[in-house]
Structure 1
Amino acid sequence: MHAVILAGGKGVRLRPYTSTLPKPLVPIGDQYSILEIVLKQLSSQGFTTVTLAIGHLGHLIRSYVGDGSRWGLEIDYRTEESPLGTMGPLLSLEDLPEDFLVMNGDILTDLCFGELLATHRAAGAPLSVATYRREVKIDFGVLTTTGGRIREFAEKPTLDYRVSMGVYALNRKVLSRYTPGLPLGFDELVLDLLADGTWPLDYAFDGYWLDIGRPDDYDRANAEFDALRPVLLPE
């Protein structure tokens, strides 16, 4: 099983932590970086090869990770000379397996990546998206209007959404229409599939998930890590 980890972003929202370190290398707890936790999880779940798509401060990631042998992985690298979006770095990768995992390098979760990939393969899906339930509280009275008249009213409703976790399984055929070297976002890929009537698979997940995008997310991850360590890194 093969995984591509997207680790090329500048981590602007996580400054000042990312001023001197790429976001995947910021420490969690006293022992691990985010990226090391992810690599240990992938190895324990049967993945054998990983491609790291790097950019900002990518030389530090190369120096830290090396060839991946300490985790029982074979790791290679793809360097972005300019930002290519979420899916753009995949377009120039050679020898990708028919189905593979793609994930952001700044996620803490106990999602079983191997099960996601197996479910994706069994379904024959072009794209499978790990999704998470989010509730958004609206602090206003919400009106639905038609023709200048109020038809519905809800006082401070809570809206329920399923959001992308930043973890996907992909069939390489869906990338064949796009030009290597040009940016390609996750949004563009999904909208193109929907326009074609080719429905991505929803892989619903209700365990632990934290996207470390902002300083308060990072502080939360460190505060929770000791309690979550047995879940994130089972022996």
Structure 2
Amino acid sequence: MHAVILAGGKGVRLLPYTTTLPKPLVPIGDRYSILEIVLHQLARHGFRTATLAIGHLGHLIRAYVGDGDRWGMRIDYAVEESPLGTIGPLLTMRDRLPDDFLVMNGDVLTDLDFAGLLAEHNAARAALTIATYPRQVNIDFGVLKTEDGHVIEFAEKPMLDYRVSMGVYAVSRDVLARYEPGLPLGFDELIIDQLADGRPPREYRFDGYWLDIGRPDDYDRANAEFAGLRPALLEGVDT
């Protein structure tokens, strides 16, 4: 099993924490970086190889991770000379990827079963499988549905339930064949193209722990919760 970890972003939303460190290396719980936790998890789930897509302050990530030996993995790198979006980095390494592989953002804290996601993707012979997570939003207004100048439905301060992408997905290499390497390509574009082709992505539903560390309040929450979450996030790792 192979994983691609997207770690090339500038982490602008997480300033000032990312002024001198790339986002995947910011510390969680004063001991582990986000990336270190992710690599521990991948190794525990049976992943033996990984590629880190690096860009902004990538030399620090390379110096920190090295060849991956400390996690029992073999890790190589793909360098973004300019921003390529979420999927664009995969195109530059397409020829050295296996038929099916895991892709994940380098700033995600979760106890998702990464191997289970890839196994279900393989069993379904899917082109793209997206890990999804439930979210709820409280609307602070009375919501109207209108038609032909009339109100036909009303809900007072409803709660909306929906599912979001976790930033973790399984990809078939074949789905990348149509795109030109070196050009930016976003995850949203890939999904839209799959839907237009009549090949809707599969869903891998997950309801455990997930936190996308994109903003300072997310980072503060991760540190506040880490002591209680550590056994689940770092199962098998000595204190």
TM-score category, normalised to shorter length: over 0.9
Name 1:22's counterpart in structure 2.
22
Name 1:56's counterpart in structure 2.
56
Deviation at 1:92, TM superposition (A): 1.1
Identity of aligned residues (%): 75
Name 2:220's counterpart in structure 1.
219
Matched residue type, 1:106 = D
Name 2:201's counterpart in structure 1.
200
Deviation at 1:199, TM superposition (A): 1.4
Matched residue type, 1:115 = G
Q: Secondary structure at the match of 1:43?
A: helix
CA distance in structure 2 between the aligned counterparts of 1:6 and 1:27, rounded to whole angstroms? 18
Name 1:46's counterpart in structure 2.
46
CA distance in structure 2 between the aligned counterparts of 1:205 and 1:164, rounded to whole angstroms? 10
**Superimposed CA distance per residue, residues 51-100 of structure 1 (whole angstroms, 9 cap, x where no aligned partner):** 00000000000000000000001000001011101000000103210000
Q: Secondary structure at the match of 1:86?
A: coil
CA distance in structure 1 between the aligned counterparts of 2:85 and 2:160, rounded to whole angstroms? 28
Name 1:67's counterpart in structure 2.
67
Matched residue type, 1:52 = L
Q: Secondary structure at the match of 1:52?
A: strand
Matched residue type, 2:101 = F
Give the root-mean-square deviation of aligned CA atoms.
Answer: 0.5
Q: Secondary structure at the match of 2:104?
A: strand
Structure 1's unaligned 5+ residue stretches are: none
Deviation at 1:30, TM superposition (A): 2.2
Q: Secondary structure at the match of 1:122?
A: helix
CA distance in structure 2 between the aligned counterparts of 1:138 and 1:81, rounded to whole angstroms? 42
CA distance in structure 1 between the aligned counterparts of 2:141 and 2:81, rounded to whole angstroms? 45
Structure 2's unaligned 5+ residue stretches are: none
Name 2:111's counterpart in structure 1.
110
Matched residue type, 2:13 = R
1:83 aligns with 2:74: no
Matched residue type, 1:200 = P
Matched residue type, 1:203 = Y
1:132 aligns with 2:130: no
Q: Secondary structure at the match of 1:5?
A: strand
Q: Secondary structure at the match of 1:154?
A: strand
Deviation at 1:31, TM superposition (A): 1.3
TM-score (norm 2): 0.98
CA distance in structure 1 between the aligned counterparts of 2:104 and 2:226, rounded to whole angstroms? 21
Q: Secondary structure at the match of 2:96?
A: coil
TM-score (norm 1): 0.99
